[in-house]
Structure 1
Amino acid sequence: MSPDINAYGYVIDGDRRRPNDAVRVSDPSTGKVFATVPEAGTEGADDAIASADTASEAWAEFDAVERGRILDKVADAIRANADRLGHLETRAMGRPVSESRASARAAAGYFEYYAGLTDKVEGKQIPLPTDGDHLDYTVREPYGVTAQIVPWNAPIVLAARGIAPALAAGNTTVAKAPRQAPLSVIELGVIAGDVGLPDGVLNVVTGSGSGTGTTLIRDDRVRAVEFTGSTSTGTKVMQTAAESITDVHLELGGKGANIVFADADLDAALECVAATFNNAGQLCFAPTRVFVQSDIYDEFVDRAVERVEALTVGPAADDPDVGPVVTADARDNVAAFVNSVREGDGRVLTGGEIPRETGHFYAPTLVDGVADDAPIACEEVFGPVVTLHEFDTAAEAVERANNTRYGLLNVVWTDQVARAHTVAGGLESGTVAVNDYPVLSPAAVSGGYKQSGIGRSKGTQALKAFTQTKNVILSLD
């Protein structure tokens, strides 16, 4: 192995394991391999589940306040290592380094938030119409072993988003780090053990979805699965989990809309368009369809082109506005979507090209004149591409924004509070933001409508999602 390539092992029962170097990790900014990790496969996944299963009972019975103190220490340790974790994430998936460091700090925020909720997993008393002859109450109990299938596009923060509430509720976890960008999640497992998380409570394995991931989902010792990723893969996860009647939480694809009314703060709305290119557009909640009211459409298009052309593109370590997409195949997929516009009636207003020979770059691209049902306007491009559309009335904008199989996040821009509430109420998505984007907080519940997912992440709802309700009816006779 080249001295320029670092080898990492996955984490089981507090120990690093490196049975092979089968998975090569490349830097999207250069296309060069810089690290290897093992393919855990069936054997590694089975060992991780066994470790989590062994630790499960003791962790569930762990004093809740002390459990919170440990999670707080994990938060502090992540924050102290944010620069290093951000660097690892930037090397592996091409996100500009300032975004990756912010993502690591956000991961710390999840552990900090759920550390404060460990002793607040509560049941309730239920009055029964039995003349006071019975006491009926509920308790919330952890599932036991949970699996987290972590996506590559924001590994450290999305791992924390699922792992923190699972552990806070008293579950143990096996996390499968993403094949393309596993390093920050591996290091999260090491950091957690270093600050006192008991062995086996958090295990991190690596490898493919079809090998390592399927083994985790199919094992009947795993009682809940958290998956973030594409709708097509989420469908397979759900089918596999159904074999053992395992609970699943899915956050899947999105094709969100920005709806910009004529009375909106255009400067703020244009900054939202620019923010849609964060992480090279590789965010499932990015509102990549922009519906602009006809009165201001031409002005908005001209200003949007100017704003997007001002974005810098370059190697992620140089901290540009837009870095590369994750792989050459991902870049070619983006190019195919844009080329379909050129072959049809739409316009490529800016971008639409590969700007650098080295790495997996695609220029930030604005498109208009495409039909709402054109592939680029209704399917996830997962790259730096935004489509612009003109509308007349609020009812039309809502109808067209909803005309998608997805329903993750939409954004509304208007100066009228009544209109904001009306439009938000009509949009079919788990989140609607008004006059700001992105608004990210561990306390703000998120999740999808339609084919964007099942269940909810973040907030107290995530804590409930990682527990089961037991009803106890006690006769007082």
Structure 2
Amino acid sequence: MTDKITVGGVAVDTRHWIGGERVASPDTFTDISPIDGSTIGEISRATPAEAAAAIAAAKAAFPAWAATSRAERARLLHAIADGVEKRLEELAIVETTDNGALLRSHRRGVMPRVAHNFRFFADWLLKLDHEDFETRGHGNHVSWDPAGPSVLITPWNAPLLLATWKVAPALAAGNTVVLKPAEWSPLTASLLADIAAEAGLPAGVLNLVQGYGSEIGDALTSHPDVRRISFTGSVPTARRIAASAAANLTPLSLELGGKSPLLVFADADLDLAVDLAVEQYDNAGQVCLAATRFLVEESVAEEFTRRFVEKAGQLTQGDPRDEATDVGPNIHPRQLEKIDGFVQRAVAAGARALVGGHRKDGQYYAPTLLTDVAQDSEIVQEEVFGPVLTLQTFATEDEAVRLANDTRFGLAATVATGDPERARRVTARLVAGTVWVNCFFVRDLRAPFGGSRLSGVGREGGSWSFDFYCDLKNTVTAPNGWSNHG
């Protein structure tokens, strides 16, 4: 195995990053590009020994990093952001090759947001505060103490964006990190380790192990020295992580699946509603927040459907490196099989494909819209995580809300309406961590993010991230004690 591979002209190290050094494993796994199924390279495949070494490195580095001033931690996070911006084009090329998302999106939105993740939490750290208060003359002072080594397990659909959504606040909080990226898209995490080292982040503060969760997951999540675990991924994997962490009562943050609705009322701007609906094919449908269930008021359903079919037919599917492409490939042959299985079972049960409903060449699945689906059917109830949407109708506002809430999930919801009062009524009744009204995917790091029901546990973003990654402490001082806690 070679230590480095070249991806789109960019050198990427295939080894782990542990304690400030590159570490190879005796075995590897093959990383393939969803664009054409070609082999990108052989990547070091961690064993429990490498997982333990990464945790040991994070533990050794923790006391000094926790004692580092807020100002210095913030400075280093900004330096990492500078490094991301300096290598933005390289990161975009590598990630598109690795996970198949649109290159134009990586250039214009995703990688700039990666840098913003570091800058935001660096700046938030410097203003993190709680007003002191008195209790019968006693002073109360709230502080956020670094919790310890944190294991961060990230998904393949937005690899670097979602990794840094966790890495940045964990580091800002004073924790050390062991990052385990998804094996289907590991490459930009390796580049992040290089960028962090070049920025001057001390050895052991950020560690990277690559491999299969089935082989090293338990070694990472059951370790007694790990004090926080943050995971984005599937519900079954989250259950295994929670069981593994239970013995040590390690706090968890879990952002899981979704089966989010788009509610279109008759008073909505239909052009806007259709634009929002077609946007759900973004990233080939591999977006946890996607509104995959269209719920449309009966009186406008026919017109909405006509406009949607017309607009969806204008999408260009193909090589994500082409500026003209709107929909790229799905991540892996196994995922493509899963997507097609959902569609074929739905059609066999009576669903009709108004758009798509079939595979294309390679790892591409045609953007699909299914109708004539029952509320209790698999295609309505289970997350597909591909470019597959369903359409149902409703007669009343109460029915719309009932259908929207009638799944095991509660990650997000989107509402299209021209009536502000209806918007307030409906959003108050929806079970969701995020609700968008007449818009979609507007995300602010100051806002809490997470899901209800099986869509997750906990919230991150703004102070909520620090609440999770820190141990909150309240110091109570007697009236004749010190008044300034520093």
TM-score w.r.t. length of structure 1: 0.95
Of 37, 45, 66 in structure 2, the residue corresponding to residue 39 of structure 1 is: 45
* Post-superposition offset of 1:80: 2.0
> 1:446·1:457 contact (CA, 8 Å) conserved in 2?
yes
> 2:346·2:378 contact (CA, 8 Å) conserved in 1?
no
Q: Which residue of 1 aligns with 2:483?
A: none
* Post-superposition offset of 1:362: 0.6
Provide, for residues 113-140 of structure 1, a one-character-per-residue CA deviation record: whole Å limited to 9, x for no partner: 11102223334534324xx3x4333322
Counterparts of 2:29 and 2:322 in 1: how far apart (Å)? 26
Counterparts of 2:378 and 2:48 in 1: how far apart (Å)? 37
Q: Which residue of 2 aligns with 1:135?
A: 139
Unmatched 5+ residue regions in structure 2?
Answer: 481-486
SS at match of 2:473: strand
1:354 aligns with 2:366: no
Q: Which residue of 2 aligns with 1:473?
A: 476
In the alignment, residue 240 of structure 2 is paired with which amino acid? K
* Post-superposition offset of 1:93: 1.4
> 2:257·2:454 contact (CA, 8 Å) conserved in 1?
yes
Show the 5 A alignment for 1:13-412. Answer: 13-101=19-107, 102-129=109-136, 132=137, 134-319=138-323, 320-356=325-361, 359-412=362-415
Of 416, 422, 426 in structure 2, the residue corresponding to residue 423 of structure 1 is: 426
Counterparts of 1:366 and 1:195 in 2: how far apart (Å)? 46
Identity level (%) = 38
* Post-superposition offset of 1:339: 1.1
Which is worse superposed, 378-387 or 15-24?
Answer: 15-24
* Post-superposition offset of 1:23: 1.2
TM-score w.r.t. length of structure 2: 0.94
Of 459, 464, 467 in structure 2, the residue corresponding to residue 461 of structure 1 is: 464
Counterparts of 2:453 and 2:332 in 1: how far apart (Å)? 29
SS at match of 2:219: helix
Counterparts of 2:87 and 2:310 in 1: how far apart (Å)? 37
Counterparts of 1:295 and 1:23 in 2: how far apart (Å)? 53
* Post-superposition offset of 1:14: 2.1
SS at match of 1:11: strand
Counterparts of 2:438 and 2:447 in 1: how far apart (Å)? 16
Counterparts of 1:261 and 1:136 in 2: how far apart (Å)? 50
* Post-superposition offset of 1:21: 4.9
Counterparts of 1:216 and 1:123 in 2: how far apart (Å)? 33
> 2:99·2:331 contact (CA, 8 Å) conserved in 1?
yes
Provide, for residues 219-277 of structure 1, a one-character-per-residue CA deviation record: whole Å limited to 9, x for no partner: 11110000000111111111111111100000000000000111112222212122111
1:440 aligns with 2:443: yes
Q: How many residues align?
A: 472
Counterparts of 2:385 and 2:140 in 1: how far apart (Å)? 49
Which is worse superposed, 454-463 or 256-265?
Answer: 454-463
* Post-superposition offset of 1:212: 2.3
SS at match of 1:395: helix
Counterparts of 1:41 and 1:98 in 2: how far apart (Å)? 36
Counterparts of 1:58 and 1:190 in 2: how far apart (Å)? 21
Unmatched 5+ residue regions in structure 1?
Answer: none
In the alignment, residue 213 of structure 1 is paired with which amino acid? G
> 2:445·2:461 contact (CA, 8 Å) conserved in 1?
yes
